[in-house]
A and B are shown apart, each in its own frame.
Chain A
């Protein structure tokens, strides 16, 4: 079953611009995670934000979480061509150990 919904489904930007992706989910969560997947490869964990946190930064990544709206956003600043990939949000429910992925956003960064 799919927990998170993401928008946009696809995003095309120029190198140097910022990219924002949004995720909504339905049930109570322990945490929300963001992953990146390059074409045909496995997923790479980017950042995890706990349910009691509102914002988190890691390098060029900024994640926000609004549990009242059951939504999160991922901001990638100063994008690079190498950021071209699919990005997925994933939620772990309060029961634990069942991480469910959203539909994903396909990001294309033009050099």
Chain B
């Protein structure tokens, strides 16, 4: 079990669907992250939030829309995805003030786009 909780664990959606991935942490971390991981590849950074504000967007297509409604929650809204967007989506959190704070990951949402 991890201290970062992601829901759902699995998601299958069509290319015209709208869905959301959710992430929650109660460690008091003020930095939260979305990573995308394809099979047998390393995680790729998508977004970084610090103090509920978007700090980094790694040129992610607009069909992925992040949201940080409060310090404990991070959402990723999905719309009009493509089959190549199928992947494991990982949420992580860390202390913002400490540059040597490691990332704490959830177990991810396995997304399949049909």
Contacts and interface: CB of A to CB of B under 8 A. Distances in A.
Interface of A: 2, 30-31, 33, 35, 40-45, 48, 50, 88, 90, 92, 96-104, 106
Contacts of B90: 42-43
B33 to A, nearest CB: 8
B96 interface: yes
B41 to A, nearest CB: 8
Contacts of B55: 97
Interface of B: 2, 4, 6, 31, 33, 40-45, 48, 50, 55-56, 88, 90, 92, 94, 96, 99-100, 102-108, 110
29 contacts: A30-B100, A31-B99, A33-B102, A40-B108, A40-B110, A42-B6, A42-B90, A42-B105, A42-B107, A43-B43, A43-B92, A43-B103, A44-B2, A44-B105, A45-B104, A48-B102, A88-B42, A88-B43, A92-B99, A92-B100, A96-B99, A97-B31, A97-B48, A97-B50, A99-B33, A100-B45, A101-B43, A101-B44, A102-B42
A75 B26 CA distance: 33
Contacts of A40: 88, 108, 110
Contacts of A48: 100, 102
A98 B108 contact: no
A26 B53 CA distance: 29
A98 B45 contact: yes
Contact of B99 (A30, A41, A44, A45): A30
Contacts of A104: 41-42
B48 A42 contact: no
A96 to B, nearest CB: 5
Q: Give the interface centre of A88, A97, A100, A103 by most chain B CB atoms within 10 Å.
A: A97
Contacts of A99: 33, 45, 103
A31 B100 contact: yes
Contact of B56 (A2, A30, A98): A98
Given A40-B88, A42-B106, A97 B99 contact: yes
Contacts of A33: 102-103
The 4 closest A-B pairs by CB, nearest first: A42-B105, A101-B42, A45-B102, A42-B107
